Structures are given as C-alpha cells and as structure tokens.
Amino acid sequence: MPFGDDFALKYMGGRGFGAKILYDHLGKIKDPLGPENILTIAPGPLTGLFLPGAAKTHLVALAPLTGIYGDSNMGGNFGSELRQAGYDALVLTGRAEKLSYLWIDDDDVELVPAPDLAGKGALDTERAVKEALQSEEVRVAAIGPAGEKLVRFASINCDWGRNAGRCGMGAVLGSKNIKAIAVRGGQDLPVADASELRLLTETSLRDLSDHPLFEFWQQQGLMSVVDYLNTAGGLPTRNFQQNVFEHAEQIDGFKMEREFKIGDTACFGCPMSCGNICLVKNGKYKGTITEGPEYESACTLGSNLGVSDFAAILKGNQLCDELGIDTISAGVLVGTMIEAVDTGLLRPSDVDGMKLEWGNSDQITTLLEKIANREGVGDVLAGGSKAVLEKWPQLDPILVQTKGMEQSAYDARATISMALAYGTSDIGAHHTRAWTVGKELELGAKWTNEDRVNIVMYHQTIRPLFDMLGVCRLPWIELGFDEQRYAEYYSAVTGVPHRLDELLERSRALWDLTRLISVSRGISRKDDYPAPRMFDRPIEGGQYAGRVVDRGQYEELLDLYYQRRGWSEDGLPPAETAKSFEDRLT
C-alpha cells in the first residue's frame, strides 16, 4: 500500500519504518514466534544509490532471542533489488500452510510451495531458488535449518555471506514457514535532484578514496580490528576472561591476507569492498570457502574460544552461514559451555558427555551443529542466554549477556562508556548501537561522566540515522566520513532541504519509540546493565589486568543518561512521548 509523505519524512525508512509498524501492531503480538508477529524488511531512501555504503536493509520484529524490540541488518544487494522492484518495505505476518518461498518479480508477488527446500542450508537454498527461477539476477534472502527449527538467534543470509544475524530474525521467518524471499526488480529509483546527487557522489567517492587508510581497509576490512584490539588490550579471550590472546597473530588480518584471502566482495555500489573471500588450501578443512570472517566472527569463534587455527575459524564461519545462526551468540554460548565444564560449574554429562576444552575445533563444530539442529545440549543453547540461565542459573556469573542478548566482541571493563552502551542498547549487548571503545582507549583518561554519556548518546543517535537512511556506518566510523554529507544526500533524494540536526532529532525520537516497545514488554532500569562479569570478574593479564566496571560510577552514568534522555529514574519515557507516535501509515 502507498504511504503518506509525512510518514515517509518522519520515519524515513529502514529501522524507522520497521519500528513504527511494529509499534502499531504491538497489542496483537503475544509470542515473537507466533504467526501474529510482524516482520518488516525495509531498505532506506538511500539504499540502491551509488553512494558509499548505501546498501543496507533492516529487518524489524519482536525478537525471539530477547522478547523485546529487535532488529538486524544486512548489506549486499537484496535491499537495492527490493527498491528496484518498487518496494520501500515488505511486511510479513501470519504463517504459510506449507514451507514456501516468497517470489517478488516487480509487481508480481507469489508464494511458492517449496517442500524440497526443507533442511537445506541457507547458502544451498539461495542457489536452489536461483536455479528454480532460472535467473542469476534474482536476489535471495534465506534461512538455514536453524531458522526452520526456530533457534532463537537464527540468521537470515543473502548474497552468499551477508547476514542479518542478531535478535533471531531467521527464527521469525521460519515461524512463518518461509524458507526464502527472492526478488527481482527493473525499475529506476526516484531521485528529486539527480544532478546534485551526482555531484555529491563524485566528491564523496574521491574524498573517500583519498583517505590514507582506504587501501588498507580494502585489504583487510574489519579483520584489521583483531590486531588493533589485541595490541590495545581489549580482545575478548576464553569467554572474556582475558583481553589479550597470545596467538592473535595467527588469527588476524595479516594472517588472512598471507595465507587465505583469494578475493574481495562489496555491497551494492560501494567502493570500500571490505568483504574478504577466503579459502582453506590444505589441512583437514581443505576446500572450505567463505565470505569472511568479519572481526566479530574471528573473535567469537577464535580468541574467545581459545582457537588459534584460522582455518578452523573459517570452517566455523562457513558452517554458521550455512546453518543460519548468528556467530556472536553462538560463539559466546559455546565459550560459556567450555568455561562451565572447565571450572566444574557443569559436568560433561550436562553437555552430551563432551569434556569441552579451549581451542578444540572439533568440539566447537559439533556444538554448532547441535545448536542448529536442536540436538541434545544444543536444544538448550538454541534458546539463547535466557534458556541457558533458566536451566543452569549457576552460569549467570560467566554468561556475558544483556537483556538476553549475548555480548559483542568488545570488552567493557577497560572502557566504562562501552559498558553504558551495552547496558542501554535497545536490543541488548550489541556494539552497533554505540561503539565507543576506540575513543575511550585513546582519549578517555581525561573524560568526565558527562563526556562518556555524551559520546554514547551521540552514537545512539547518528547510528540509528544511518539505519533509517539505509547506509553503512563504516565510512563514518572507520574512515572519518563527514556525517553532514548524509543530510545533503537525503535533501537531494527527497527534494526537501534538511539539516543534519533535523535528521538527528528524528533519530532521537526513534530511540524513544524502540524504548516504548520494550517498556511494554517489561523493560526498565533493572535491565540496563552490562553482564555481571563486567562488574565482578577482573581482567586477567594484559595492560588492563585487574580492571572491572565500577558499580558506583556506572549508577552515576545511568542516572545522567536517563536525565539526558528525559526518562524517569527507572528508565521510562514520559507518558506524553507515546502521543507523538499516534500518526498512521497513510
């Protein structure tokens, strides 16, 4: 259905559209895995244009992993194709009678029964759907067996290696009996001032390519973070017990370049080409080929599990892509199990007789497969942190999670602003809401509490704006791309002049909106804390040995954060906030 200009300008697209649509239907949703849950798949108004990083698609629903507001995003080419088919958002509710895929060919939309796809991996499904439609131009987003079996951190994968990993959006799609969504579009994208946008694009691409780190970024992408964080003393190791990995040089970007990388990949129209295609050329994982790993996967499946074999990390990455599970949640949960057995909190009999050991890639592979297929202990792990703590509450001190979401691969004990970022994140302990680690490690010694709250809140404002526009954060955070440019892009595309501060105000409102969604599900101050390990377990070794998050200082930061948000001491937005979201879609 068409939507009005006022709606489009207020919520912009991407995460903004998804959050508003979810909010409007909250009263009907009882179970994130029930047919009544709403899954919105929305690119943004800049997605599919020839701008740096303009390829993001957001997926929004009530999250199976946490039970609160949830979203995830993926790059690649799916969002641009969806827009070229004429759609700014795809909204799914209900449940198909048979396992099917959704086929969108411009104006023609068809639900295609596909029982033969049952149990197939996500990558195999993408290939099978393209063959069935006899087209390589089709873009396919698919789930693996984990999504079919409703693993609560199941992912949705597209373009062979681009994943919407967090929150369990793959489980939502699986709960609707949809194995894949295929789309092909042949329409031009609307731009109000194409000449102006062309000039902005040319300037942007030139400035980006002139950055001194541009070529290095193309060579390693996010894999460069492994060496950076290990040197800085912030690389999670053995389930966040240490922050320095003694074998980091065996799993970093330089190791990848020398021995495994065979090519680059890029999202639609993006010059950064930050994706790495890697091939294992010998050993027991010979022949494994995958896009990746990104830093998060290299850490959560590498140092965090004590794995120093890069080939084993590639195998784990490829397996998670095919099975359709989030590498961050999987890596943190597996690490928790290894530490639990290692320290006697669990017995081998609790984990199907396995005496789990750090660095044992065969055991890790077995656990990943058990999770995806809900076999044995994998059935518990498939429920995420909440299910694990319900069965084994004694693991609370070692399971690194917030609001039920397993923490991203950045330790918060050396950077208390990151602890606040994790604690106040609207979806749980995820780094894309606010990544303040680098700034605080470099500059934070002189920061006041006000400085820390300010940087967290700014990240929590500019980053949702990127999500609403459908663009990637990496040009900004990694190569210093000026955020003022995005207001210029949006003005040229819509034909309506906008200042950056006006767009940031809409993003701030979006943060209130997602908070309201989660408050309706019981979220309050009690949930806005990083994992107990961040407070209670000092870092072992490295330059930050002995460091923990100070509880008193954290409470002061949280009080100040709520004051700046205009929320109550318990983290609740004022009653009048909801009135600003009473507008309708049309």
Return d(Cα 119, Cα 99) in angstroms, integer.
11
pLDDT tens-place string over residues 371-408: 999 999 999 999 999 999 999 999 999 999 999 999 99
Chain-centroid distance of CA 402 in Å reads 15
pLDDT tens-place string over residues 147-161: 999 999 999 999 998
What pLDDT is stored for residue 555 in this prediction? 98
Average pLDDT over the chain, rounded to whole?
96
Q: How far is CA 128 from CA 79, 132, 140, in A?
A: 20, 6, 10
Of all residues in the chain, what percent carry a pLDDT higher than 90? 94
Residue 221, Ramachandran bin (φ over 0: left; ψ between -120 and 50: alpha; else beta): left
207: pLDDT strictly greater than 80: yes
CATH topology of domain 5-184: Aldehyde Ferredoxin Oxidoreductase;  A, domain 1 (3.60.9)
**Given the DSSP bridges, would you call strands 108-113 and 139-142 parallel, antiparallel or unpaired?**
unpaired
Return d(Cα 252, Cα 503) in angstroms, integer.
37
* Total-model pTM: 0.97
What pLDDT is stored for residue 334 in this prediction? 98
What pLDDT is stored for residue 586 in this prediction? 59
The DSSP call for residue 34 is: S
Beta-bridged to residue 433, according to DSSP, are none
Q: Name which CATH class applies to 416-581.
A: mainly alpha
Q: Residue 196 has which token pair? A: 């102006």
Return d(Cα 336, Cα 334) in angstroms, integer.
5
Average pLDDT for 174-178: 98
Amino acid letter for position 252: D
Segment 343-352 long-range contacts (CB within 8 Å, at least 24 positions apart): 343/398, 345/392, 345/394, 345/395, 345/398, 346/392, 346/395, 350/377, 350/392, 351/376, 351/377, 352/376, 352/377
What pLDDT is stored for residue 439 in this prediction? 87
Q: What residue spans of 430-499 are helical by DSSP H?
A: 437-443, 449-469, 474-479, 484-494
Q: Where in the chain is the domain with CATH 1.10.599.10?
A: 416-581
Average pLDDT for 303-316: 98
Average pLDDT for 198-205: 95
Q: What residue spans of 495-550 are helical by DSSP H?
A: 500-519, 532-536
Return d(Cα 317, Cα 296) in angstroms, integer.
10
pLDDT tens-place string over residues 33-65: 999 999 999 999 999 999 999 999 999 999 999
Residue 424's contacts (CB-CB under 8 Å, 6 or more residues apart) are 456, 460, 528, 558, 561
SS3 77: coil
548: pLDDT strictly greater than 90: yes
Average pLDDT for 511-531: 98
What pLDDT is stored for residue 451 in this prediction? 95
Beta-bridged to residue 39, according to DSSP, are 92
What pLDDT is stored for residue 215 in this prediction? 92
Q: Where in the chain is the domain with CATH 3.60.9.10?
A: 5-184
pLDDT bin (cut points 50, 70, 90) of residue 585 is confident
Residues in the chain: 586
SS3 427: coil
Beta-bridged to residue 158, according to DSSP, are 141, 162
131: pLDDT strictly greater than 80: yes
pLDDT bin (cut points 50, 70, 90) of residue 410 is very high
Q: Where in the chain is the domain with CATH 1.10.569.10?
A: 216-398
503: pLDDT strictly greater than 90: yes
DSSP string, 205-260: HHHHHTSTTHHHHHHHGGGHHHHHHHHHT---BTTTTBS--TTGGGSSHHHHHHHT
Residue 230's contacts (CB-CB under 8 Å, 6 or more residues apart) are 244, 245, 248, 252, 303
Q: Which CATH number fits domain 216-398: 1.10.569.10, 3.90.228.20, 1.20.20.10, 3.10.290.10?
A: 1.10.569.10
pLDDT tens-place string over residues 473-499: 999 888 888 999 999 999 999 999 999
284: pLDDT strictly greater than 70: yes
Average pLDDT for 131-160: 97
Return d(Cα 450, Cα 572) in angstroms, integer.
21
What pLDDT is stored for residue 446 in this prediction? 87
